[in-house]
Every structure is written in C-alpha cells, then in structure tokens.
Amino acid sequence: MSRTIQAPRGTFDVLGEQALARERLEADARRILERAGYSRIETPTFEATELFARGVGESTDVVQKEMYTFADDGDQSYTLRPEGTAPVCRAYLEHGMHKLPQPVKLWYLSSFFRRERPQAGRYRQFWQVGAEAIGSDDPAVDAEIVLLVAELLEAVGTKGVRLRIGSLGSPEARVAYREQLQGYLRAHEAELSAEVVSRIDLNPLRAFDADHPGTRRVMERAPRLLDALAPEDAEHFAEVLAFLDAAGLAHEVDTTLVRGLDYYTRTVFEFTSDALGAQSGVGGGGRYDGLMEQIGGPHTPGMGFAAGVERMLMAAGAQPTAPVPLDLYVAYAGASHRAAAFRLAADARRAGHAARLELGGRSLKGQLKQADRSGARYVAILGDEGTSLKDMETGEQRTVEPDTVMHHIRGDL
Ligand code: AMP
C-alpha cells in the first residue's frame, strides 16, 4: 500500500467550526476596519526576495532563517511573503498612491509563510489580519491603529489581553543609543549567552528579547532607548499615550519592547493574551517611517499592525456557532421521483431558501431521519401517492400539488 500523504509540517486544514469562526472573525475585521476608513488590499502570495531582504531587514530572524525562497524565471529569486507590510508598501509605491489623499488606509487578511519550528500557536503557514496607514506621521494615526487592534480583539472575544507600548525613536537617536548599548554589552560579554554576543554588532537590541538568565540579569541594568529619545520623538510618544488615555485604553509602557522586524521607528506595540502559552503574542505593530526609502521610494511615514488569526481565536476559546437554518429538506420515494426532487430543491434555492436534497442514496426512512437531524423547517416528500409537505415545527402534514410546495412554504419563511 502506498504511503498516505499528509499536510506539510506546521500547516493545517480549516474545517467545520473553525471555518465558521474564521468567517466571523473576517466579518468583524471588515466591519471595524472599513468603518475607520481602511479599504481591502490583496497582494501576491510571493514577491521578489529583495523586497523582504531590504524591507524587513537582513539581520532579522525572519530574513536570515525563516523565508521560503525559490528561483524562477532563470535567476530571479522569489519568496513566499513572511509578512504584509513590505508588500503593501511596495504596492503603494507601484500604484503611485502618494497622489491620493494621505494617509492611505489599507487592510488585509491573508496567509503568511515562515519556516519556524512548529508548536501550539506557531505555524509555517498562518493568517494575519493587518492594516497600514501610510503617508502621515500624526501620533493620532499611531493611536488609531492601536485602538483598532483592541477593538478587533474585543469583537473576536480574545481573553486576557494586555497591551505593551514603547518607542524606538528616530534612526539617528537609535544609532547613538545602539553604540551606547553595544559598549554596555561588550563590558558584560562574559555574562551573556553566546547568541547575544554574536549579535552585538548586527542587532544588539535583540538582547532584550533573550531568555538566557545571565543575559536577562545584565539587561535589567542596561541603558534604555526610551531614556535616550530625541525631544521630538519623546513628544510624539507622549502624544500617542495621551490619545490612548483619552480613549480609555489601558496600556503598559515597556522600555524594553523590541519587535522582530527591523523596519520600526518611533511607536511599537504588542498585544499579548494570558490565555495563551509560550506564544502569547496575539498582535502587534508600529511605525515604519524609514521603510519606503529602504525599498526604493521617497521618504513616506507609515504605521500598521498585524494580528494572528489562529492566536486570536485560540485565546477566544470555543464560541457557540449557530448552524445555517435549513428551510426545506427534499426527500423522495424511489428513483422515478429523483428528477422532480432535484428540480424542487434547485427552485427553492433560486427563490432564496436554504434547501437540501437527499444525495446519499438513503431509503425513504433514512432520508426522513436525516431530515429530522438537519433541523429543517419543512420536509417535502415526493412519492407515488403525490407530494406531501410536513411542517416540522407543528408536526402538521398535508398533501399538496407538486408545483405548489414553494407557494406553501413562502408565507412562513
Ligand atoms: P509579527 O508579524 O511577527 O509581528 O506577528 C504578528 C502576529 O502574527 C503575532 O502576534 C502572532 O499573533 C502572529 N504570528 C506571527 N508568526 C506566527 C506563526 N508562525 N504562527 C502563527 N501566528 C503567527
């Protein structure tokens, strides 16, 4: 016997209740984001590898270890999108969206691909809802994006939500701070993990992310970027926090918040859920005022978020889903009535009713059992003695002219 084929490691099928829960989440996201002026964007599943190398950052885990990259068209290198911001920025530039009123507000719900070690809440293909507001550096944009995530998490029913927020400042302040931090890390090299030491030159900020106990002890006393912000960045951050306060959104300022992608400037934030295990991040984002230039465009500020669909739903727990109510179940006694039954079900659906026909080759008795199980409001039975219609709510059954079934049920539904 040949080996059965299974879904690839870190991927999953979406079935039954999960499919319904995702549909609901998508409807919530659309309602919340579209009423705030965000319109939907779809970008290709794969892009030129260079877009992510330049946009996300060469030194990030995503680019260094996690991309699904393949060659096509001879020597052109493509990558399955690991995130949504760089593709949306590429589309903004490609379609000259700077000519539209700014900021341009876009949202997406798409799947993304990262070659991560699969575990609960971490997959190799996963879905994110995200939004980007491009073309304004107003702190109100930052606060709006954060608020929209909070609203989405509330609508989805995600439990135990906490918001941490920080600021990475401008690139110039970051350069100066980076050198200060590198000096501090070198002075404590002996106490740090080998991985952190190897990244002192490339990405010293990531040391704040480390789990290694020695590193954590050192990082507790490390200089903080938030204390080294330029005055205009500190002012921008204070305004973002004031907007969140005005909107009544609880938040913790986190001086060590570092996001995994390189393009962030100024505001960064992350929502976590206490209802999740190790992979507790449900959504996050930030401002990326330098990203457009990195991918070859003019200086254009931007702010966005991405929230994981699987994690939001996991942290929401099982939610009752109501099955789609069935108006009419069409049963028939014997093959000679099949065509008429088929037509009745098709006509009923065309008229806007939810109608189902026996397709499993069951006996009439079996069909009636199915009809009962399906929760149908009406059951039509086509047989040699004519057509009967049973109202499953009242139990009343009557013989009707075959062509009048629709007429009889229409009044009630
Ligand atoms: P990021 O794009 O890394 O900032 O991630 C944003 C959100 O996407 C996270 O908070 C998670 O909810 C979700 N996410 C990121 N990576 C994965 C993954 N490998 N599997 C499932 N969800 C993920």
| 99-130 pLDDT tens trace | 999 999 999 999 999 999 999 899 999 999 99
The 10s digit of each residue's pLDDT in 157-206 is 999 999 999 999 887 888 888 899 999 999 999 999 999 999 999 888 88
Q: Report the percentage of the chain scoring pLDDT > 90.
A: 78
- Percent helix, strand and coil across the chain, each to the nearest 5: 40, 20, 35
The answer, yes or no, to whether any atom of ligand 1 lies below 6 A from the CB of 283, is yes
Take residue 297 and report the two structure tokens written for it: 């465009």
Q: Residue 322: pLDDT above 90?
A: no
Nearest to 288, CA basis, from 145, 123, 160, 148: 145
What's the confidence (pLDDT) of residue 269? 96
The answer, yes or no, to whether any atom of ligand 1 lies below 6 A from the CB of 306, is yes
Beta bridge partners of 80: 46
Cβ atoms 65, 115 nearer than 8 A: yes
15 dihedral zone (left: phi>0; alpha: psi -120 to 50; beta)? beta
Q: What is the mean pLDDT of residues 258-274?
A: 84
Confidence of residue 259 (pLDDT cuts 50, 70, 90): low
What's the confidence (pLDDT) of residue 161? 97
What's the confidence (pLDDT) of residue 263? 74
What's the confidence (pLDDT) of residue 88? 98
Please choose from 264, 305, 310, 314 the residue to mutate so as to test ligand 1's pocket, defined by most ligand atoms within 8 A of CB.
Answer: 310
HSE toward the beta carbon, residue 278, CA cutoff 13 A: 6
pTM of the model: 0.88
The answer, yes or no, to whether any atom of ligand 1 lies below 6 A from the CB of 308, is yes
The 10s digit of each residue's pLDDT in 217-250 is 999 999 998 888 999 999 999 999 999 999 999 9
Please choose from 56, 116, 126, 259 the residue to mutate so as to test ligand 1's pocket, defined by most ligand atoms within 8 A of CB.
Answer: 126
The answer, yes or no, to whether any atom of ligand 1 lies below 6 A from the CB of 110, is no
Q: Which atom, in ligand 1's list, is nearest to the CA of 116?
A: 19
Which residues, in sequence order, are CB contacts of 246 under 8 Å at separation 6+? none
What's the confidence (pLDDT) of residue 29? 98
DSSP string of 391-403?
Answer: ETTT--EEEE-GG
Q: Residue 262: pLDDT above 70?
A: no
The answer, yes or no, to whether any atom of ligand 1 lies below 6 A from the CB of 310, is yes
What's the confidence (pLDDT) of residue 256? 79
Q: Which atom, in ligand 1's list, is nearest to the CA of 123?
A: 20
What's the confidence (pLDDT) of residue 8? 96
Beta bridge partners of 321: none
Q: What is the mean pLDDT of residues 297-304?
A: 97
The secondary element (H helix, E strand) that includes residue 63 is helix 61-65
Nearest to 164, CA basis, from 32, 308, 82, 286: 286
The 10s digit of each residue's pLDDT in 347-393 is 999 999 999 998 888 999 999 999 999 999 999 999 999 999 999 99
